[in-house]
Amino acid sequence: MTSGIYQGPTSYGDPGFSRFVRSTFLSAAGYDEGDTDRPIIGVGHSVSDFTACHREMPALLDAVKRGVAQAGGLPLAFPTMSLGEVFLSPTSMMFRNLLALEVEELIRAQPMDGVVLLGGCDKTVPGQLMGAVTAGRPTLEVVAGPMIARSWRGERVGACTDCRRMWSNHRAGQLSEEDIVSASTVLAPTGGTCMVMGTASTMAILVEVLGLAVPGSATAPAPSGDRLRVGVASGRRIVSMFSEQLTPDRVLSRSSFLNSAIVLAAIGGSTNAVVHLLALARRANVDLTIHDVGTATARVPVIVDCRPSGAGFLDDLHNAGGVPAVLSELESKLDLSATTALGTSLGEYLENASGPITPQTVIRPLATPVAEAGLIVLAGSLAPDGAVLKASAASPDLLRHRGPAVVFDGVDDMQARLDEVDVTPDSVLVLRGCGPAAAGMPEAGAIPIPRRLAAKGVTDMLRVSDARMSGTAFGTVVLHVAPEGQYGPLGLVRDGDLVELDADSGQLDLLVDPEVLKERRHAQPNVELDTTRWRTLQAQIVGQASEGADIPFPRG
């Protein structure tokens, strides 16, 4: 049996007995044949008190199950790992691949004909989908949805772009301890994911563009009825997807990934999405390199006015028509043959989709964008395999810059010496020892401005690292340098070496004679003495950021 509740029997060496005990325990749970003759839909959720952004998820889970039942399926919920961004140490990225492993095995091992996955906080969505794409059953993601923004002292603020801005102002002495405590009560005022264009919002939107979530589902706020209706609609749709056998390999294509890269640039999305798209493409056996992403994003302006590249919030984007309205504006740049989660082509879908709901100011026409360039993929002698820069969140005067390096070996070294080092506004802050193998890619790339310079009003400097940066952060920050420090030229940089960024030509160079570099030894990351089995295993096998930082599947 390849479908239904009796597929994949538990191995007791007696298939009849396996079926008998399975029906016994289903009976104990109150099910009978009227339930178990239906398509079985697994509903993987990531409810956790440690993932505060998911606190509205129990109601969303009920909504998905209601939709599955209405369409004639039997919903069976199961928990997945939940990766709450701000409660995990050293970084949630350390566990994305572990979540992917877990979800793949849970989908393969349990009897389900299709799966709906409930995620939201940054790594939950790519981790769940990496597992589901590999498992190969019909799949839909339902995201938690963003928070709704509130105001502090008359100004709309939100997590976590304003958390960072306010903390920087506090470090510079412009906000008191009392101010910071007061602001912390309104920066994340409702359930839901960060309501700026951070990684959670970016991935929610890209998953919709990839065809792994129902159109129009990404932006509905977590506490809204719209969000619950997304859940019901997704529950209904997954039962049809089982009938149509619309598996991820029939949805995902090079077109859908290139469309996602274009949308990533147009929304001013998180640089983290580049790593996740590359990992998902590899899982889906789609040929996609970091330079393909760079080619797709080049010359795509930012048309969505959300923080950190702009001023608005995700609820503004939802009120303006959400992702379908953005796609309508971008139609001329997209491959309309890509498949949506409805099984139609993107072109067919957009024929019936409306453009932005007027009046609105958050979705701009291509001719009058928020910023000219969203995301740039760099290459050069300091990053032979690539690096990324969110140009829309950078300072225009630093996009062409040459300066002497001030080098830090790992986060601990940076934290210990940052406020003591000899540094000027022209210096280039270089951080290494934060790549996928060395440290699991913490979001440490937005190195704080040294206190002395911050106090003098310096708000941005060129920063270069093999780390990531939160999608909610801003500044002229080059990230994901590949190969990471312990394997590439980044590990050869010394204090005072000249580093040059030319964003227009996509170059990041170390201006040191190659013969001199040959004589230098690579800096090695500090090794954590109390490291765990998983961290040790991942460090040995994980790929570089330019390949998605996934763990390989050893074939043959």
- Options 190-198, 217-225, 288-296, 311-319: segment touching ligand FES (CB under 6 A): 190-198
Q: In whole angstroms, how far apart are CA 424 and each of 80, 338, 399, 512?
A: 47, 49, 17, 21
197 or 338: whose CB is closer to ligand FES?
197
Non-local CB neighbours of 528 within 8 Å, separated by 6+ positions: 535
CB-based contact 197:226 (threshold 8 Å) = no
The three-state secondary structure class of 402 is strand
Non-local CB neighbours of 505 within 8 Å, separated by 6+ positions: none
198 or 231: whose CB is closer to ligand FES?
198
Q: Return the residue matching tokens 């004679």.
A: 513
Shortest gap between Cβ of 23 and ligand FES (angstroms)?
Answer: 40
Q: How far apart are CA 507 and CA 190, in angstroms?
A: 42
The three-state secondary structure class of 222 is coil
Tokens representing 360 are: 């609105």
Contact positions with ligand FES (CB under 6 A) in 494-513: none
Q: Is 200 near ligand FES (CB under 6 A)?
A: yes
Shortest gap between Cβ of 472 and ligand FES (angstroms)?
Answer: 7
CB-based contact 329:302 (threshold 8 Å) = no
124 or 538: whose CB is closer to ligand FES?
124
Q: How far apart are CA 162 and CA 176, in angstroms?
A: 15
Shortest gap between Cβ of 262 and ligand FES (angstroms)?
Answer: 24
DSSP state of 490: G
Shortest gap between Cβ of 84 and ligand FES (angstroms)?
Answer: 6
64 or 121: whose CB is closer to ligand FES?
121
200 or 405: whose CB is closer to ligand FES?
200
- Options 193-201, 222-230, 322-330, 535-543: segment touching ligand FES (CB under 6 A): 193-201
Q: Is 411 near ligand FES (CB under 6 A)?
A: no
Shortest gap between Cβ of 200 and ligand FES (angstroms)?
Answer: 4
Phi, psi dihedrals of residue 332, rounded to the nearest 5°: -65, -20
3-state secondary structure 487-510: CCHHHHCCCCCEEEEECCCCEEEE
Contact positions with ligand FES (CB under 6 A) in 362-401: none
46 or 297: whose CB is closer to ligand FES?
46
Q: How far apart are CA 251 and CA 105, in angstroms?
A: 21
Shortest gap between Cβ of 431 and ligand FES (angstroms)?
Answer: 22
CB-based contact 208:223 (threshold 8 Å) = no
Q: Which of 103, 121, 233, 306 binds ligand FES (CB under 6 A)?
A: 121
Q: How far apart are CA 294 and CA 312, in angstroms?
A: 26
Shortest gap between Cβ of 85 and ligand FES (angstroms)?
Answer: 4
Shortest gap between Cβ of 506 and ligand FES (angstroms)?
Answer: 30
- The b/e string for 432-457 (b: 16+ C-beta within 10 A; e otherwise) is bbbbbbbbbbbbbbbbbbbeebbeee
Q: Residue 322's Cα: distance from chain center in Å?
A: 18
Q: Is 53 near ligand FES (CB under 6 A)?
A: yes
- Options 192-200, 480-488, 494-502, 509-517: segment touching ligand FES (CB under 6 A): 192-200
Count of chain residues binding ligand FES (CB under 6 A) = 10
- Options 194-202, 355-363, 369-377, 444-452: segment touching ligand FES (CB under 6 A): 194-202
97 or 161: whose CB is closer to ligand FES?
161
41 or 187: whose CB is closer to ligand FES?
187
Q: Is 194 near ligand FES (CB under 6 A)?
A: yes
Site string for ligand FES, 56-95 (x = CB under 6 A): -----------------------------xx---------
Shortest gap between Cβ of 94 and ligand FES (angstroms)?
Answer: 16
Contact positions with ligand FES (CB under 6 A) in 146-175: 159
**DSSP characters over 309-342:** TSSB-HHHHHHTTHHHHHHHHHGGGS-TTSBPTT
Number of H helices and number of E strands within the chain?
A: 21, 14
Closest to 375 (Cα-Cα) out of 197, 539, 179: 197
Q: Which of 122, 141, 305, 315 binds ligand FES (CB under 6 A)?
A: 122
Tokens representing 250 are: 């029939």
Site of interaction with ligand FES (CB under 6 A): 53, 85-86, 121-122, 159, 193-194, 198, 200
